[in-house]
Structure 1
Amino acid sequence: MKLLTIVTLALVIVGGLNWGLVGLFGVDLVATLFGTGSLLTRVVYGLVGLSAVWQLVPFAQSLGTADTLAAHR
């Protein structure tokens, strides 16, 4: 479970960096590497999206932990 969380976090970071490149320079690195609209590009985008959904769980847990800690102070 921990390995999956680390892998998905890495994919979310890759996705964020790719969007940063698109926004700042108009360069879609994933599409450049794997081909615009190719199956591999779509798989990478799909995995990044699923990774973001997976990362909602630890994100929500960390928010709950922060609220609990703040209540005890």
Structure 2
Amino acid sequence: MSGLQRIALILVIIGAINWGLIGFFSFDLVAAIFGGQSAAFARVIYAIVGLAGLYSLSILFKPSEELERSPEPERH
């Protein structure tokens, strides 16, 4: 798994935790930290998490052996 895929996965997990907090406790952590849902920076965070979710779709459709295979160092 590449570094970009790991970052996207972390952002998706953060988004899932935020949605869980909204669903169970009606508490939006991102909005609480960044000044409300309509605050510019909170909207940027929502957008980045959304883009990470879309990018993570590529992980879903990759063959599992491609994800498990670690890159081998080049031999000279």
TM-score normalised to structure 2 length: 0.78
Cα distance in 1 between the residues matched to 2:59 and 2:15 = 18
The answer for the alignment partner of 1:61 in structure 2 is 62
Q: Give 2:51's aligned amino acid.
A: L
Residue 56 (structure 1) shift: 0.3
TM-score normalised to structure 1 length: 0.81
Gapped regions of structure 2 (runs ≥ 5): 66-76
Identity %: 41
The answer for the alignment partner of 1:51 in structure 2 is 52
Please list every run of at least 4 consecutive aligned residues from structure 1 whose deviation after the TM superposition is greater than 3 angstroms. Answer: none
Aligned length: 64
Q: Which has the higher helix share?
A: 1
Gapped regions of structure 1 (runs ≥ 5): 67-73
Q: RMSD between aligned alpha carbons?
A: 1.7
